[in-house]
C-alpha cells in the first residue's frame, strides 16, 4: 500500500519543524532574557517570513501545491510565532498580524473563484457520468491540479454528501450499463446498521462518563464518534448507490467510498471462484465487506486501485463478494468477446 509523503513536503516539514523547535528552546533559554528585543525580531522573521518562503521554494516552485497555499502557511506561521513569543515581545510580530486581514481576504476571494470553476467543471462531468465521486475528483483536479490534497478534499466532500444528503441519492448508473451488487449476500447493510446503533449508545455513555473528568476530552471523543458514524453511514449509502459496472469494454470497480478503479476488460486474465478457505496475499486486494470474497479477478499485469485519502495499491488480482457470480462471469466474458 502506497502512503508516502512527497519529497518537497518532507523537506519543508523537516526544516519548518527545526526552525520552530529552535525558536521554542531559544525563548526558554537564559540568553533570550539578555537580548529579548532583537532575538524576538529574529524569531519573528524566521517563523513568519522564513517558513512561508521555504514552503514556496521547496513545495510551490516544484509544482507540488498551488501558490495560494503559501498564504495559508503564512497564517499558520504567524499563529505559531504568536504562541511561542511572550506577549511583551510581540512588537515585530504585530506588523505581520496587521496583514492577516488582507491575507484572509485574498484566500476567501480565491476560494470563491475556484468554487465557481469547480462547480462548472462538475456540471460538465455530470452530463456524461452519474458517478459523484469520479465527477468530484475530475472537477477538483481540473481546477486545482492532481495532488494528494485534492484526493483528501474529494473524500471529505463525498463523506458529507453521501452521509447528509442520502435521502436524495439516486443509483449512479447510466441506462444500458450492466451492474452487479456486492452487499446483499453478505448482509452488509444489516451489520452496519447494528454497528451504527452500538456507536450511538457507546458515544452517549462515553460522553457522560468522560465529562465528569474533562469536558474537552468528552467533547473531542464525541466529535470523533460522530464523524465515524457519518463515514460508516456515507460508505453504506455509497455501497447501495454505486454498484460494480461492466460497460463498453470497461470494468468499473466501485466499493463504497473505499476502493475504485476503471480497468479495461482486456487487462483481465480470468475470474475464478474463491474457496471457503481463502488465504490472504499481498498481491491480491480483498475488498469484501465484513464477509469472505467469492470471486477473484486476475489481471494480465498489475493494476493500480485507488483508495481513500490518496492511498493506492498495485495488485495482480482483486477478491470481492459478487452477489451473482455466474452472471458476472458470463457478462465479463461477453464484454471481452465484444472488445476483440
Check whether 276 has a pLDDT greater than 50.
yes
Q: Which of 231, 239, 233, 131 is nearest to 185 (CA)?
A: 239
- Same domain membership, residue 267 and residue 226: no
- Same domain membership, residue 231 and residue 269: no
Q: What is the C-alpha separation between 170 and 264, in angstroms, rounded?
A: 26
Q: What is the pLDDT of residues 111-125, one digit of tens each?
A: 788 888 888 888 988
Let me know if residue 1 belongs to a domain.
no
- Same domain membership, residue 249 and residue 236: no
Check whether 2 has a pLDDT greater than 50.
no
Of 213, 241, 269, the one marking the end of a domain is 241
- Containing structural domain, residue 24: 7-98
- Same domain membership, residue 268 and residue 320: yes
Q: What is the C-alpha separation between 137 and 153, in angstroms, rounded?
A: 9
Owner of C-alpha cell 463504497: 256
- Same domain membership, residue 250 and residue 237: no
Check whether 3 has a pLDDT greater than 50.
no
The confidence score (pLDDT) of residue 1 equals 41
Helices within the chain (DSSP H only):
7-28, 30-34, 36-44, 51-55, 68-84, 93-98, 100-126, 132-144, 148-164, 188-210, 215-241, 325-339
Let me know if residue 223 belongs to a domain.
yes
Average pLDDT, the chain: 85
Q: What is the pLDDT of residues 221-267, one digit of tens each?
A: 888 888 889 999 999 999 999 999 988 888 999 998 999 999 998 89
The confidence score (pLDDT) of residue 55 equals 92
Q: What is the C-alpha separation between 54 and 184, in angstroms, rounded?
A: 52
The confidence score (pLDDT) of residue 339 equals 66
pTM of the model: 0.71
Check whether 302 has a pLDDT greater than 70.
yes
- Same domain membership, residue 306 and residue 251: yes
The confidence score (pLDDT) of residue 241 equals 92
- Same domain membership, residue 254 and residue 219: no
**How many alpha carbons fall within 13 Å on the CB side of residue 120?**
8
Amino acid at each position: 500500500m502506497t502512503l508516502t509523503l512527497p519529497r518537497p513536503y518532507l523537506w519543508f516539514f523537516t526544516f519548518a519543524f527545526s526552525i520552530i523547535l529552535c525558536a521554542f528552546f531559544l525563548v526558554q533559554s537564559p540568553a533570550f532574557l539578555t537580548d529579548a528585543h532583537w532575538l524576538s525580531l529574529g524569531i519573528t522573521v524566521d517563523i513568519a517570513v522564513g517558513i512561508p518562503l521555504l514552503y514556496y521554494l521547496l513545495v510551490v516552485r516544484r509544482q507540488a501545491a498551488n501558490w495560494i497555499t503559501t498564504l495559508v502557511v503564512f497564517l499558520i506561521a504567524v499563529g505559531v510565532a504568536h504562541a511561542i513569543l511572550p506577549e511583551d515581545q510581540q512588537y515585530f510580530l504585530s506588523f505581520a498580524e496587521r496583514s492577516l486581514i488582507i491575507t484572509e481576504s485574498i484566500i476567501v476571494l480565491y476560494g470563491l473563484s475556484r468554487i465557481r470553476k469547480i462547480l462548472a467543471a462538475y456540471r460538465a462531468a455530470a452530463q456524461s457520468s452519474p458517478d459523484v465521486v469520479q465527477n468530484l475528483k475530475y472537477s477538483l483536479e481540473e481546477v486545482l491540479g492532481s495532488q494528494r490534497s485534492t484526493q483528501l478534499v474529494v473524500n471529505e466532500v463525498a463523506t458529507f454528501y453521501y452521509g447528509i444528503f442520502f435521502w436524495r441519492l439516486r443509483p449512479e448508473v447510466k441506462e444500458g450499463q450492466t451492474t452487479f451488487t456486492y452487499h446483499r449476500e453478505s448482509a452488509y447493510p444489516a451489520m452496519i446498521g447494528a454497528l451504527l446503533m452500538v456507536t450511538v449508545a457507546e458515544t452517549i455513555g462515553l460522553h457522560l462518563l468522560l465529562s465528569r473528568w474533562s469536558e474537552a476530552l468528552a467533547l473531542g471523543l464525541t466529535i470523533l464518534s460522530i464523524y465515524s458514524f457519518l463515514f460508516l453511514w456515507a460508505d453504506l449509502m455509497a455501497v447501495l448507490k454505486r454498484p460494480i459496472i461492466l460497460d463498453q469494454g470497461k470494468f468499473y470497480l466501485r466499493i463504497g467510498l473505499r476502493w475504485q478503479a476503471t480497468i479495461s476488460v482486456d487487462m483481465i486474465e480470468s475470474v475464478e471462484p474463491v474457496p471457503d478457505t481463502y488465504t490472504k496475499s499481498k498481491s491480491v486486494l480483498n475488498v469484501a465487506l465484513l464477509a469472505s470474497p467469492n470471486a477473484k479477478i486476475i489481471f494480465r499485469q498489475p493494476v493500480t486501485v485507488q483508495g481513500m485519502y490518496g492511498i493506492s495499491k498495485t495488485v495482480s488480482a482483486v477478491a470481492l463478494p459478487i452477489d451473482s457470480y455466474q452472471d458476472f462471469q458470463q457478462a465479463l466474458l461477453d464484454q471481452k468477446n465484444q472488445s476483440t
